[in-house]
Chains A and B, each alone.
Chain A
């Protein structure tokens, strides 16, 4: 993991629509059960995501899955911009 390169690591909630990124880590502050679910949806470390929109919720595309995340969760998903 790119712990030395903190500049590249941003919360998913901060990316603009159209941005492509790779999931780096899910913050420990996410509720454990919800964390498992998010990973099961495909938003897992190492996976590529495309941001579709940020309002009213963060909407991302992972493979062929559109996933909507509330802002409070999208702020806790760390990604690396491509």
Chain B
């Protein structure tokens, strides 16, 4: 059985991943936010078990410039492609066809799914699919992927996939340069599936993936290809001009096949979209969203649900039952202690993970999913842009930062939506330092909220202050330029229940797989330390720092040991001490722990994304810095707030 592949390619936020789900049954994260797909996903097609369907990140421009565009280009170069399904946004045909013009040059068999044609209709835009199909020479199928409309027809049309008709010819000089390059590529580095002409155009446009592929395939003959490009550039053949000509050709074809009727009044979605970033109304709306977030996650999730799970379900029913069962059936005392003792795998590890953390992350991810799918986050980046300018970032970083409030590990991966390595480095650093994940946030708010509103406020102000200060310094120290924000506003949509539910379940699964082993490991280490009497030694060793400098009770050292595994685990340890903490001690302890190293999982993610060196440097900075800030805060608060 030979496996061949069909790739879904298209501009960002046109519905490739929804279509992927429809065609394979496999779910990948889908959001109303450009750049959700950061890696190529693959699954077996429902309609043919010998075909792998490949979902690629959206491309704004080809030749590839960003990481996700490079990932898509790699898929085109390396996958055993039988065909490509180009997914296009029917209401934005010009951009769709600009990409089509390039796919045509590559000569890969294609069909075009004209997605979201319902949204186009609502805006008075109709596309003549028949006329477009004969102009392109391939099947064109209108679809509404979210509603499953047109999917069967799209699947059938794959049998008729064929190479696209060319959309344009470039000017004489450019054509000569392309022909020359293409013949050299044919001679020295022929591609098994893609036309030399298309590769020549991409190489002229300085696509780094195509360049890498060619130099691998051509070996020492690459010099021959390089010199041809240099000669073309010397004659004034510029990549920007090529892109411009593709845009013009797309524009001409778009006006030929599109009809527009003037809308009497702007759509409700448009009006809401503009209110969200209105110079005045934006702020009450933002406050409303934050309030809803607080009510649902803080009050309902961290309060009501945690109360039910922790006190009622685990405290009164599960834990007594499990404890009785274990004590009765396991004769060896230390084994029983390991399971259900003070530092028991079940009574501490599983109880924390399921009763305390699960309700909080679940409610957080539900709200996050709703905001993502509504189109709110893209607009939030517009609102946050001015603030983020101060820390060398642009508003796009708001999405990973807010997601970090759910799970920093997941958010570290999501920084791939950012366009420059510098932005990614700063964002990852700031999240590792000062963004508490939802589990920790729940514990912090539980402890400090119980003391006073002032205590909570001091914690919030300290964290925001540190975030801004560290960001400001990082932006000054890390070389490179800040990139101003230019971003598309996706349409405001009513989130679909099914999609939000699937996304939430996927994220919770991800989170639990990450969190439970660490909680168990952490509990086990605490158990060992306790069993062998090492805790008192650690407490003594940490005393000068913890009691002297931070002004905390000596037992708080244990919380910092736990904090090495997960910050929230440490915070929970501090929570257990809360009856012996003063307000100042609670605030200082929580601020230090929040800044303190992020959990092991997120450190590993930083290693994966940025390398071990960068991760080590971050940790080497963060640990002393956390104690420095904690100590300063301790002395400041004692002077002014006692």
Contacts and interface: CB of A to CB of B under 8 A. Distances in A.
Q: Are A and B associated in one complex?
A: yes
B92 interface: yes
A39 B484 CA distance: 15
A5 interface: no
Interface residues of A, number: 31
B483 to A, nearest CB: 6
B576 interface: no
Interface in B395-415: none
B187 interface: no
Interface string B208-239: 00000000000000000000000000000000
B91 to A, nearest CB: 4
A56 B282 contact: yes
Interface string B66-100: 00000000000000000000000001101100100
B484 A33 contact: no
Given A40-B61, A52-B274, A59-B277, A67 B488 contact: yes
A3 interface: no
Contact of A67 (B94, B98, B123, B486): B486
Contacts of A37: 60-61, 65, 486
A42 B95 contact: yes
B61 A36 contact: yes
A36 B91 contact: no
A4 interface: no
A78 B169 CA distance: 28
Given A35-B240, A39-B243, A53-B277, A64 B489 contact: no
Contacts of A42: 92, 94-95
Contact of B484 (A34, A36, A55, A66): A34
A53 B382 contact: no
In this complex, the interface size class of chain B, counting residues with CB under 8 Å from chain A, is 35 or more
A70 B277 CA distance: 13
A62 to B, nearest CB: 9
A80 interface: no
A53 B240 contact: no
B348 to A, nearest CB: 47
Given A56-B382, A59-B274, A64-B123, A41 B486 contact: yes
A23 to B, nearest CB: 12
B383 interface: yes
Contacts of B98: 40
Q: Which of B98, B383, B485 has the most chain A CB atoms inside 10 A of its CB?
A: B485
A68 B483 CA distance: 14
Interface string B481-505: 1011111110000000000000000
A63 B260 CA distance: 10
A62 B240 CA distance: 20
Per DSSP, chain A at the interface is mixed
A57 B61 contact: no
Contacts of A33: 65
Contacts of B386: 56
Nearest to A43: B486
B279 interface: yes
A49 interface: no
Contact of A56 (B120, B240, B383, B394): B383
B485 A67 contact: no
A17 to B, nearest CB: 10
Interface in B262-290: 273-274, 277-279, 282
A70 B247 contact: no
Contact of A65 (B273, B383, B485, B488): B488
B279 A55 contact: yes
Nearest to B383: A56
A15 interface: no
Contacts of B61: 36-37, 40
Contacts of B394: 70
Nearest to A53: B274
Nearest to A44: B247
A56 B243 contact: no
A72 B481 CA distance: 14
Given A34-B483, A37-B61, A68 B243 contact: no
A56 B489 CA distance: 14
Contacts of A67: 486-489
A65 B254 CA distance: 15
A54 B215 CA distance: 47
A38 interface: yes
A39 B244 contact: yes
Contacts of A52: 274
B125 interface: yes
B240 A66 contact: no
Given A65-B92, A66-B488, A57 B385 contact: yes
A48 B489 CA distance: 18
Interface in B281-330: 282
Nearest to A72: B484
A25 to B, nearest CB: 12
Contacts of A35: 240
A79 interface: no
A31 B65 CA distance: 13
A10 interface: no
Interface of B: 60-61, 65, 91-92, 94-95, 98, 120, 123, 125, 240, 243-244, 247, 251, 273-274, 277-279, 282, 382-383, 385-386, 394, 481, 483-489
Given A41-B60, A59-B489, A66-B273, 8 more contacts: A34-B486, A37-B65, A53-B277, A56-B386, A66-B488, A68-B382, A70-B485, A72-B484
12 contacts: A37-B486, A40-B247, A41-B95, A42-B94, A53-B277, A55-B279, A59-B274, A59-B382, A67-B486, A67-B489, A68-B487, A68-B488
Closest 5 CB pairs of A and B: A66-B489, A70-B484, A55-B279, A64-B91, A40-B61
